[in-house]
A and B are shown apart, each in its own frame.
Chain A
Amino acid sequence: MSKLGDLGARLHRGEVGYDFIGNRKIWYGLSVLITITAIVALAVRGINMGIEFQGGAVFTTPKTDVSVSQAQEYAEEASGHDAIVQQLGNGSLRIQVAALDTEKSDQVRSDLAKDLGVPEEKIAAELVGPSWGEQIANKAWTGLGVFMVLVVIYLAIAFEWRMAVAALIALIHDLTITVGVYSLVGFEVTVGTVIGLLTILGYSLYDTVVVFDSLKESTKDITKQTRFTYSELANRSINGTLVRSINTTVVALLPVAGLLFIGGGVLGAGMLNDISLSLFVGLAAGAYSSIFIATPLVADLKEREPAVKALRKRILAKRASAAARGEDVLDEAAEAAVVGPRGARRGRAEENQR
């Protein structure tokens, strides 16, 4: 602990810190690169939709001793797609396989018959429709749209529109990356995946809001002081919440990583892979984007505001003159961990500026 705790203390005092804002172009570039890769992957490879979305074939076998998981393995081998296997009350199996047309389904049927050791004609094959109908999908899209509008309005009121815009961009960034990874890995998109994506939606914004909250607090009296520019304060607030961000991300990612690498990888539970992959990528992207994308974006937008711009000019001028006098301004700056007294009235300060 002591090392990280010590680091936390130094981050808190602003003694150490990574210049997130100053290096933002690097991170923007990285994100653009990843996003483009994701989009290209989507365009080239497409998305492998599971049976819930596009239907497929269903095979009903006669009574058999083959276990459900064994049958699932056979079916996935024979078809190359995810299979859903259920045992019916009379001991027969119902095997659903995605993306099969009639021709392919005949072949899978004969393969299955061989694997399961039952006569081929005893296996009934039929095409099934999606259980995740268009209606559900449309409503999910509507929900997503409504949510985004509401959350932008809420953030614009609770914080300001710049933060709302930045949060939204970060969110879209996270979702694109996650979908892109799906396309690259080639996992089938199931209902679980979609729900994983929606979870990210909530989590990504949640994480961004926590960082913004500290940003808002540290910059609320910005026009009253002449030590720091907005970008510098933003940077300090990111560094100040860095320990929290790391801790939260680790705590959120550990169980998901357990599901993905141990449950899915080692123990071979296929269905878990779908869900935990989208969660894992999304959570990681969400934590990354709130620090490296969302906050620098706010700083960028904010620096365009006349008052903030003027402040920056003044500060730079002051520093230049101080440097000319040979004082170590930065040292003084580092000492001033607290920006303005709490509860001071802001309005007056702004008046003074004018």
Chain B
Amino acid sequence: MVALTGGMFWSGHTTPRLGIDLAGGTSITLKAKAEPGQESAVNETNMNTAVGIIERRVNGLGVSEAEVQTQGRENIIVNIPKGTNEKQAREQVGTTAQLYFRPVLTVAAASPEPAPTASGSTAPKPSASASAGEKKPATPTATASTQGRALTEALKAPNATGTPTPTGSASATPKKDATPQATPTPDAATAALQQKFTTLNCLDPKQRTAAAEGTKPTDTIVACGKNAIDQWEKYLLGPAEVEGRDVDDAKAAIDQQSGQWIVDMSFTDAGSKKFQAITSKLSQQTEPQNQFAIVLDGEVVSAPRVQTTLSANAQISGSFNQQSAQDLGNILAYGALPLSFDTQSVDTVTAALGGDQLEAGLIAGAIGLALVILYLVIYYRGLSFIAILSLGVSALLTYVIMALLGPAIGFALNLPAVCGAIVAIGITADSFIVYFERIRDELREGRTLRPAVERAWPRARRTILVSDFVSFLAAAVLFIVTVGKVQGFAFTLGLTTLLDIVVVFLFTKPVMTLLARTKFFGNGHPWSGLDPKRLGAKPPLRRTRRTAPATVEPKEA
């Protein structure tokens, strides 16, 4: 606990990040772009799909309390709480628009100047035309990844010499001068496009974005992308063969055999057919034309080589690390927005609940809490000291952990979460109420305090664990299954439940044991709340019950 609190001050995050309803934040308005000839694409269905995808992207772990909704016919509003990495969020909502798989025609180094480049090519592959069955995810499928990785591997391979296609690729080992005189496939680019490709400088951000502008999926295009060693390369790409919406799912995984990070992806039925067609074509080609580029908003995010014909399932391997594999998996899985969007405006917004509401809530909560303390003092007297202290410890821990989770996983506290925390007072208090009542029962049996404290504990402990388990189960299920605000709430509930157990085990019980040794409590001072007389305990004698006069006639058994 001390360590946690220390951690909080050390990290400088001393307040929990507040949700947008409490602290305001940033509101981004996106406007759907109607592509020429496809105006009808901006419809309700597509807008709702887009909202769902953006929601998943900005909410990340689900606890950041971002809100996404449609506005009017063609706008989407994204509200992000204060303190979120705004730039990153804007990139997430803005850029992941359209995803295409395009065959690679040519690859070259980033800039037109004849840079020292190496010819990148790979070992000849027989590209087993074995029409790789519908579902064979485990078989080695598409290998390698971006050109850069293919290249690195190729350089290591013994037969990595120049091949008929002199493609350029930035590399640490200059080998062969290859001005990007790409030789496109016969049916590919026109002279103009060739010119564009030659002059394109991917090191210039402006040119990068300009390169892909105004292109249609059916065009042959030029595009930029980073390779595995983080250097820009430019690509000449054929028409899109597979679209983002053809991807059913994609995620990062560890290859069982090699132990390396890979990306598993699966296609929808329609996507499988298209993917089969493109891979069967590409697997016959030589480097780099056996690659397909995964193009996101005009930028190549990955360009894996194809070795064999693939269908419904594929895996992309190469020198991924965990981060890059997950990024690619996310892009493939969630990047399939049916529409592209322009960021129309970015505004700061104030809290939806005025400051006075929050203040009213806090005042009300404080009054409620004061009443709780008053009640505990009246009923439990000295024991309430332990109760209030336990509540205090619990509250402090909750606060510290929430403050730390803000920067760690984007956790944001909104009003419902605050209310959840207030209810948690009940659950936390219940744990020691159960324990106290057990102790009192033991005292009534005629035991003295110290054995009573110890005897009561195992029974109270079981009750606490069983009931907290139910509460935690609710939190865990809701957290796993749901999304958005419900997930954020489930997180708070789970956290407070766990903390309840921690506090009762590591704080309430030890303190109770210690205090039982003091005179005040041990001798049952009238103000200790444990006075046997006041509790109506039997005289501490053995089995005198039968002879004791029946006090009150029971109404019934």
Contact = CB atoms under 8 A, between A and B. Distances in A.
Contacts of A214: 463
A97 B249 CA distance: 37
Contacts of B444: 9, 12-13
A254 B371 contact: yes
B474 A205 contact: yes
B478 A154 contact: no
Contacts of A14: 554, 557
> What size tier do the contact residues of chain A reach?
35 or more
Contacts of B357: 69, 269-272
A53 B427 CA distance: 30
A335 interface: yes
Contact of A268 (B69, B360, B366): B360
B6 interface: no
A80 to B, nearest CB: 19
Interface in A156-211: 158, 191-192, 194-196, 198-199, 201-203, 205-207, 209-210
B375 A254 contact: yes
Contacts of B433: 244, 247-248, 251
Interface in B438-489: 440-441, 444, 459, 462-463, 466-471, 473-475, 477-478, 480-486, 489
Contacts of A88: 27, 347-350
A264 B356 CA distance: 12
Interface residues of B, number: 99
B533 to A, nearest CB: 9
23 contacts: A2-B534, A16-B552, A58-B71, A87-B24, A87-B350, A127-B71, A136-B485, A136-B486, A143-B482, A194-B486, A195-B419, A199-B423, A205-B471, A209-B467, A227-B557, A228-B557, A236-B557, A244-B430, A251-B429, A251-B430, A252-B425, A263-B360, A275-B419
Given A88-B348, A263-B364, A135 B52 contact: yes
Contact of A86 (B350, B378, B485): B350
A68 B365 contact: no
A144 B486 CA distance: 11
Given A13-B444, A140-B486, A128 B379 contact: no
Interface stretch (A25-33, A39-47, A111-119, A145-153): A145-153
A271 B478 CA distance: 24
Contact of B426 (A135, A217, A248): A248
A129 B484 contact: no
B352 A16 contact: no
Interface string B96-121: 00000000000000000000000000
Contact of A256 (B416, B422, B429, B463): B422
Interface in B337-382: 347-354, 356-357, 360-361, 363-369, 371-372, 375-376, 378-381
A127 B546 CA distance: 78
Interface in B509-557: 529, 534-537, 545-546, 550-557
B503 interface: no
A232 interface: yes
Contact of B416 (A13, A130, A150, A191): A191
Q: Please name the 6 residue pairs, one residue from A and one from B, whose CB atoms are nearest each other, closest first.
A: A252-B426, A258-B368, A9-B536, A263-B364, A255-B368, A129-B70
A213 B336 CA distance: 50
Contact of A9 (B364, B483, B529, B537): B537
A76 interface: no
Contacts of A240: 441
B425 A330 contact: no
B287 interface: no
Contact of B365 (A22, A85, A136, A255): A255
A243 B437 contact: yes
B425 A126 contact: no
A280 B552 CA distance: 37
A334 B550 contact: yes
Contacts of B69: 55, 128-131, 133
B246 interface: no
Interface of B: 21, 24, 27, 47-48, 51-52, 55, 67-72, 75, 77, 347-354, 356-357, 360-361, 363-369, 371-372, 375-376, 378-381, 415-416, 419-420, 422-423, 425-427, 429-430, 433-434, 437, 440-441, 444, 459, 462-463, 466-471, 473-475, 477-478, 480-486, 489-490, 493, 529, 534-537, 545-546, 550-557
A39 B470 CA distance: 27
Nearest to A202: B474
Contact of A1 (B474, B529, B545): B529
B375 to A, nearest CB: 6
B557 A232 contact: yes
A251 B426 contact: yes
B485 A191 contact: yes
Contacts of A255: 365, 368-369, 371-372, 422, 425-426
Interface string A45-73: 00000000001001000000001110010
Contacts of A199: 419-420, 423, 489, 493
Nearest to A242: B437
A257 interface: yes
A326 to B, nearest CB: 16
B483 A209 contact: no
A279 B423 contact: yes
A353 interface: no
Chain A interface helix/strand/loop/mixed: helix
A262 interface: yes
B239 to A, nearest CB: 33
Contacts of A22: 556
B486 A154 contact: no
A112 B242 CA distance: 50
A219 interface: no
A276 B368 CA distance: 12
A12 B534 CA distance: 14
Contact of B483 (A72, A94, A136, A217): A136
B352 A6 contact: no
Contact of B368 (A90, A232, A256): A256
B425 A147 contact: no
A331 interface: yes
Given A1-B380, A89-B348, A252 B481 contact: no
A36 interface: no
A139 interface: yes
Given A89-B349, A251-B429, A259 B379 contact: no
Interface string A75-119: 000000000111111100010000000000000000000000000
A263 B376 CA distance: 22
Given A133-B55, A143-B482, A251-B429, A151 B363 contact: no
B429 A252 contact: yes
Given A9-B536, A133-B55, A154 B71 contact: no
B363 A263 contact: yes
Contacts of A90: 347
Interface string A3-15: 0111011101111
B368 A254 contact: yes
A250 interface: yes
Contacts of B550: 331, 334-335
Nearest to B462: A213
Contacts of B536: 5-6, 8-10, 13
A203 B420 CA distance: 11
A272 B364 contact: yes
A308 B420 CA distance: 41
A154 B371 contact: no
A225 interface: no
A236 B554 CA distance: 12
Contact of A129 (B51, B466, B475, B493): B51
A23 B422 CA distance: 34
Nearest to B418: A275
Contacts of B483: 135-136, 139
